[in-house]
Structure 1
Amino acid sequence: MVGTSEILATGAIRLVEEAGHSVVELEGEIDVALRGDAGAALANALERELPVIIDASRVTFADSTGIAFLVQFVTIGHEEGLQVSLRNPPQVVVEVLEMLGVHGMFFDA
């Protein structure tokens, strides 16, 4: 049984280091339970100083923490001079980005 202070992760965030770029793979539910994984992926990808692809094709849900991770990743990446792109986000993610008015950070208008 899980205590009320424990949060079970039902998703994953992992960094895949490929030649010439980094891929941050998002899978399942991207929420507060993955905060530590998100921070580690962000730090490690930025450390590589290569373009970053955020692959959201397997996301089933993203709460405000998940969307904040995407926005933070793009913002910090651009501040560091890195190209950051979002690949294949599901409609549920696109709709939240549009609703929050940050769609333009990820896609050309």
Structure 2
Amino acid sequence: MREYHQKEKLELLDRVMWDCPVPAPELLKLLDGKIDGVYHLTRRTLVRRLIESYPWFVISALIPPRELIPMLDRDFLESLRFPSLKRRYAFIKSRLQDDLPAAG
């Protein structure tokens, strides 16, 4: 799996949040869970925007699977705009749960 350097992450965030007045470094803090929210955004709204904008290989490089699984709950999946994304990420969640060893 490809890993993005910080500069690349900032560019990806800046591109996807072009209409938001939040600087990319703050968005990265939000994505990494270092802050709870910024402006009108939460981590979940940022992740939803990323999922609706970028392919899976980008998402998987930005968000560790262990952090993504809990976010992909029923409410989150239903909030996705496109039915194909709802199905795709429900499938991805099931595969990630099967592939990751149990914590502990």
TM-score by length of 2: 0.34
TM-score by length of 1: 0.33
In terms of fraction of residues, the more helix-rich structure is 2
In terms of fraction of residues, the more strand-rich structure is 1
